[in-house]
Chains A and B, each alone.
Chain A
Amino acid sequence: MSFFVVKNKFARFLLWQFFILLVIAMLGLIGYLYYLDIEVREKFEGSRWEVPSRVFARPLSLYEGKKLLPSQLEFELKLLRYNHSKSDGVGTYFRQSDTLYLHSRPFQFSTGFVDAAYIKISFRNGYITQLLDMKKNTELDFFTVEPYLIGGIYPRKQEDRVLVRIDEVPKSLIDTLLGVEDRHFYTHSGISPLSILRALLANIQAGARVQGGSTLTQQLVKNFFLSNEKTINRKINEALMSLLLELHYSKDEILEAYLNEIYLGQNGSRSIHGFGLASYFYFDQSLETLNQGQIALLVGLVKGASYYNPRRHPERAKQRRRVVLTIQRDLDLLPANSFKRFDDSRLGVKKDKPGGISRYPAFFDLVKQQLRQDYPPEDLASAGLRLFTTLDPLIQESTEQSIQKRLPQLERKAKLKRETLQVAAIVTDAGSGSVRALVGGRNFRGHGFNRALEASRHVGSLIKPAVYLTALDNPARYKLSTTLEDSPIKVDQGQGNYWKPENYDNQYHGRVSLISSLANSYNVSTVRLGMTLGLPEVSKTLKKLGIKRDIPLYPSMLLGALNLSPIEVMQMYQTISAQGFQTPIRGISSVTTAEGDVLSKYPISVKQTLKPESVYLITKALEEVMSSGTGRSAYNRLPYDFVVAGKSGTTNAYRDSWFAGMSGDKVIVVWLGADNNDPINLTGAGGALKIWTDVMASSAHRSLDVPVPERIVFAKVSALMHRKKREACEEDVVLPFVSGYLPAGYERVICDEEN
Chain B
Amino acid sequence: MYKRSKSIMLVNLPFLPIILLVLFLFGCTTTPNKENSEPVDSMFDEPVHIIAPPVETQVYYMKPVVKKLLHKAISKITEKDYHSAVSLLEQAIDISPNNPYVWQQLALVRLKQQNYTQAEQMAAKSNVVGEANNELRMKNWQIIAEAKRGQQKMHVASPDNLN
> Which residues on A are within 8 Å of B, measured CB to CB?
61, 63-66, 110-112, 141-142, 429-432, 434, 578-581, 589-590, 598, 601, 603-608, 612, 623-624, 627-628, 641, 643, 664-665, 702-703, 705-710, 712-717, 719, 722, 725, 727-728, 731, 733-735, 739, 742-745, 748, 752
Q: Is the CB of A628 within 8 A of B130?
A: no
The CA-CA distance from A703 to B98 in the complex, in Å, is 12
16 extra interface residue pairs, beta carbon distance < 8 Å, beyond A641-B13, A742-B48: A64-B65, A65-B63, A111-B84, A434-B94, A598-B83, A601-B83, A601-B86, A608-B121, A608-B128, A612-B128, A627-B4, A707-B130, A708-B54, A715-B49, A735-B9, A742-B40
Closest A-chain residue to B42, C-beta based?
Answer: A745
Measured between alpha carbons, how far is A607 from B123 in the docked complex, in Å? 11
CA distance A628 to B5 in the complex (A): 6
Minimum Cβ distance to chain A for residue B13 (Å): 6
Distance (whole angstroms) from the CB of A145 to the closest CB of chain B: 13
Across the interface, which residues of B come within 8 angstroms of A725, CB to CB?
2
Contact status of A733 and B6, CB under 8 A, knowing A710-B131, A714-B15: yes
In the complex, what distance in Å separates the CA atom of A142 from the CA atom of B64? 11
Contact of A719 among B6, B36, B100, B125 (CB under 8 A): B6
Q: Is the CB of B14 within 8 A of A643?
A: yes
* Residues of B bordering A, CB below 8 Å: 1-2, 4-6, 8-10, 12-15, 18, 35-36, 40-41, 43-46, 48-54, 63-65, 68-69, 83-84, 86-87, 90-91, 93-98, 100, 106, 118, 121-122, 124-125, 128-132
Which residues of chain B are within 8 angstroms of A579 by Cβ–Cβ distance? 125, 128-129
Which listed residue, B13, B64, B122, B128, touches A705 by the CB 8 Å rule?
A: B13
Find out whether the CB atom of B43 lies under 8 angstroms from the CB atom of A744. Answer: yes
- Taking CB atoms, residues of chain B closer than 8 Å to A429 are 93-94, 97
Distance in angstroms between the alpha carbons of A583 and B65 in the assembled complex: 24
Residues A643 and B65 in contact, CB atoms below 8 Å apart: no
Does A664 lie within 8 Å of B97, measured CB to CB? yes
Residues of B contacting A744 with CB < 8 Å?
Answer: 41, 43
Taking each of A598, A601, A604, which has the highest tally of chain B beta carbons within 10 Å of its own beta carbon? A604
A110 touches B43 (CB 8 A): no
Which of B2, B94, B95 is in CB contact (< 8 Å) with A722?
B2
Given that A434-B94, A606-B118 are contacting pairs, would A709 and B128 also be in contact in the complex, using a CB cutoff of 8 Å? yes
Q: Which residues on the B side are within 8 Å of A66 (C-beta)?
A: 65
Q: Which residue of A lies closest to B46 (CB)?
A: A748
B6 adjacent to A643 (CB under 8 Å):
no
Report A-chain residues with C-beta under 8 Å of the C-beta of B48.
715-717, 742-743
Q: Least Cβ distance of B135 to chain A in Å?
A: 15
CB pair A716 B51 closer than 8 Å:
yes
Residues of B within 8 A of A628 (CB): 1-2, 4-5, 8
Closest chain B residue, CB of each to CB of A144 = B91
On chain B, the residues within 8 Å of A709 by CB distance are 54, 128, 131
Residues of B with C-beta under 8 A to A431: 93-94, 96-98
Q: Which residue of the partner chain, among A111, A608, A706, A716, contacts B83 with CB atoms under 8 Å? A: A111
In contact, A707 and B128 (Cβ under 8 angstroms)? yes
Q: Which of A430, A605, A705, A717 has the most CB of B within 10 A?
A: A605
Is there an interface contact between B125 and A581, defined as CB atoms closer than 8 Å? yes
Cα separation A578 to B12 with both chains bound (whole Å): 22
CA distance A603 to B83 in the complex (A): 10
| B residues near A434, Cβ cutoff 8 Å | 94
Contacting residues, chain B, for A608 (C-beta < 8 A):
121, 124-125, 128
- Taking CB atoms, residues of chain B closer than 8 Å to A623 are 8
Q: What residue of chain B has the Cβ atom nearest to residue A716's Cβ?
A: B49
Nearest residue (CB) in B for A725 is B2
Q: A429-B97, A664-B97, A733-B9 are in contact. Are A748 and B128 (CB under 8 A)?
A: no
B141 to chain A, nearest CB (A): 13
Distance A431 CA – B44 CA, assembled complex (angstroms): 40
- Minimum CB–CB distance for A140 against chain B, Å: 10
Of the residues B44, B46, B54, B100, contact of A712 by C-beta under 8 Å: B54
Partner pick for A607 among B96, B97, B121, CB 8 A cutoff: B121
A sample of 21 inter-chain contacts (CB < 8 A) reads A142-B69, A431-B97, A431-B98, A432-B93, A578-B125, A589-B87, A589-B90, A606-B125, A608-B125, A641-B13, A643-B12, A664-B97, A702-B97, A707-B128, A709-B54, A715-B49, A733-B9, A734-B15, A742-B41, A745-B45, A748-B46
Closest B residue to A58 by beta carbon equals B94
Do A604 and B51 touch across chains, with their CB atoms under 8 A apart? no
Q: Which of A590, A606, A641 contacts B121 (CB 8 A)?
A: A606
Does the CB pair B84–A733 fall under 8 Å?
no
A141 touches B125 (CB 8 A): no
Which chain A residue lies CB-closest to B48?
A: A715
Q: Which of B49, B97, B129 contacts A665 (CB 8 A)?
A: B97
Closest B residue to A721 by CB, please name it: B5
Which residues in B have their C-beta under 8 angstroms from that of A589?
A: 87, 90
Q: Which residue of A lies closest to B6 (CB)?
A: A733
Q: Check B4 against A710 for contact (C-beta < 8 Å).
A: no
CA distance A590 to B41 in the complex (A): 54
Give bound CA distance, A745 to B46, whole Å.
9
Return chain B residues, CB-CB under 8 Å to A716.
48-49, 51
Are the CB atoms of B87 and A110 closer together than 8 Å?
A: yes
Q: Which B residues lie within 8 Å of A713 (CB)?
A: 36, 50-54
Residues of A within 8 A of B124 (CB): 581, 608
CA distance A176 to B133 in the complex (A): 69
The answer on a CB contact under 8 Å between A627 and B5 is yes
A714: chain B residues within 8 A (beta carbon): 15, 18, 50-52
CB-defined contacts of A603 to chain B, threshold 8 Å: 86, 90, 118
Q: Contact between B50 and A715 (Cβ–Cβ < 8 Å)?
A: yes
Q: From A603, which residue of chain B is reached at the shortest CB distance?
A: B86
A623 to B4, CA, bound (A): 13
CA distance A725 to B52 in the complex (A): 27
Assembly CA distance A136 to B6 (angstroms): 55
Question: Whole-angstrom distance between the alpha carbons of A589 and B93 in the complex?
Answer: 14
* Chain B residues whose CB sits within 8 angstroms of the CB of A702 once the complex forms: 97
Which residues in B have their C-beta under 8 angstroms from that of A643? 12-14
Which residue of chain A is the closest to B44 with respect to CB atoms? A745
Given A434-B94, A628-B5, A712-B54, the answer on whether A65 and B65 have CB atoms closer than 8 Å is yes
**CA A429 to CA B4, docked complex, whole Å:** 29
Separation of A703 and B13 alpha carbons in the complex (Å): 9
* A128 nearest CB neighbor, chain B only: B65
A604 in contact with B90 (CB, 8 Å): yes
